[in-house]
Structure 1
């Protein structure tokens, strides 16, 4: 075992599970054998939630000697006080028991971490974007927009790997989910629930998720058209945002990205009809991207570049 402090732990906090992995900062690599995952009941007590989070992180931590740990970074859903490590999650039907809890103090105690080991936090969609720009599909590009299509509609705008959260070229915080679209907001139309609700509206059939509908698309006109309509709408919605940011790459992750072969053609056609010709990449890292991005927060050089943003996220 190499005895130097070059390893970070990247953590992705999901709605029903938590994942963690070692990130080799120097070589920009994930250490697969260190991967740990723990199921979490997001409606449990704060003690139970934090115990489960700690269990996953501890498994990853056991892969190295404690003195080799640079720090721990978290891809954390909001609302969250990213600067001080205090949960502000409420009204979203998950992790409500953590409201007001200092996650840093609780995890530091459970993991018996030295005070010199930093615990740092970033929005989960931003972490995905940072990971993709650092070691993924978007690493060769300057202005990158990263989106995640799944339970919700996540987004991040990055320039040279640094999130852009203000200015005329981006929506506030780089978030697009809340932007008005048709009869609601973007999150209503570019997420799993749109597929489920719209498919039921068109066919009378209730499906459990996007994959079930995708499996029908090869043999059913209604399912095929649903994906085509989704791609067209997504292209029309994103075009002005991509143009404003002068994006040269769009990277797409989240579970729905697995059906890109079904919605991609209409999506790309919509972009081209808006005069856009940018690189489109489907994430190969997927969930690992968020862990890579959060792990990078332990790199002091990178942290110096982005820490001024954290209080405003």
Structure 2
């Protein structure tokens, strides 16, 4: 049976599973691991090896190990160029496949092929598999979490550098206000707003609990966060003219809390807003499709 290991590499956690080419999952629920994203190079590499061996404890033959990684990243060569994003900086310039295979003492990792895909690109392809009606539409995928990940689809294919779309399809590093978009519509952007309003930095989960319990300060934080999102993405809505805006990532779970703010600053008339709660599952599906295309 052909098996693939799929990994959704986030800034806080790494989620993984083992999948067959028929899209059958070995683990009913995804396995979740600490990302150790601010660790040393050695700590990060050992963490990846540990995760791989936990997903394949018997050392069975695996066709491919498929990573969904945030950018900036050289996906063809498997080299991370993340810097100044508070995650995986110790891996900068490292050829991950060769390094992990050199460190492998079990043997099965050495024989597997490696595939690296932009995490939101994988998400976008997974979205198309989950919702076939999107195949002929213009779709703007935006995942909100430790960063602001993005991908643009036209007729079921990821597009980059066309009208209204940045060179790589990434909006995170586009200049915005005093820095870049990533600093405003991400977990740290939300934390900054909570610091301003509540005097302390809170994450999305705790803010959502407070807002759902009627705390007006938390409600205001989410309203402002939604306004920030709308303001940041309006230029891409104008340039790309999507028919569907897909929101994913952990912060998308708070969409009911920030949707009013979003609609205040973004012109969304005629645009369907689709909130996807199973971000990692869609990424796994997109990774599998990508690996099978390239094998």
Equivalent residue in structure 2 for 1:228, among 223, 228, 241: 223
Measure the CA separation in 2 of the matches of 1:198 and 1:48. Answer: 32
The alpha-carbon distance between structure 1 residues 293 and 276, as it changes in their structure 2 partners (threshold 3 A), is: same
Task: Return 5+ residue gaps in structure 2 as ranges.
Answer: none
Aligned counterpart in structure 2 of residue 11 of structure 1, from 2, 7, 11: 7
Q: 2:41 and 2:90 mapped to 1: Cα distance?
A: 5
Spell out the pairing of 1:197-208 with structure 2 (5 A cutoff).
Answer: 197-203=192-198, 205-208=199-202
Give 1:14-29 correspondences, 5 Å limit: 14-26=10-22, 28-29=23-24
TM-score, normalised to structure 1, is 0.80
> Mapping of 1:123-272 within 5 angstroms?
123-135=118-130, 142-203=137-198, 205-217=199-211, 218-268=213-263, 270-271=265-266
Does residue 1:70 correspond to 2:63, yes or no? yes
Q: CA deviation at 1:251?
A: 1.2
What is aligned with 2:281?
288
Structure 1: gaps spanning 5 or more residues: 305-313
| 1:51 pairs with 2:40 | no
SS of residue paired to 2:99: helix
Distance 2:112 2:85 in 1: 31
1:127-167 superposed Cα distances (whole Å, 9 cap, x missing partner): 22222222369855532211111221111112244321222
Report the Cα distance in structure 2 between the residues aligned to 1:158 and 1:85, rounded to whole angstroms: 23
2:157 and 2:44 mapped to 1: Cα distance?
Answer: 31
Match of 1:276 in 2: 269
**Does the residue aligned with 2:242 lie in a helix, a strand or coil?**
coil
- Matched with 1:120 is 115
Compute the TM-score of the two structures, normalised by the length of structure 2. Answer: 0.84
Q: CA deviation at 1:9?
A: 1.9
Q: Which has the higher contact order (CA 8 A, sep 6+)?
A: 1
Note closer, same or farther for the CA distance 1:137–1:281 as it changes in structure 2 (3 Å cut). Answer: farther
SS at match of 1:47: helix
Match of 1:86 in 2: 79
Q: Which stretch shows the higher mean deviation, 105-114 or 190-199?
A: 105-114
**Could you say what the CA RMSD is over the residues aligned between the two structures, in angstroms?**
2.9
1: CA distance, partners of 2:189 / 2:29 = 36
**1:115 deviation in Å?**
6.8
Q: Can you list the C-alpha shifts for 1:20-71, whole angstroms capped at 9, x where unaligned? A: 2123334x454434843332433444333222212222333358951xx432
SS in 2 for 1:32: coil
2:98 is paired with a residue of what secondary structure? helix
Deviation at residue 73 of structure 1 after TM alignment: 1.3
- Deviation track 1:250-271 (CA, whole Å, cap 9, x = no partner) reads 1111221111111113424544
Q: 1:93/1:269 Cα in 2 relative to 1: closer, same or farther (>3 Å)?
A: closer
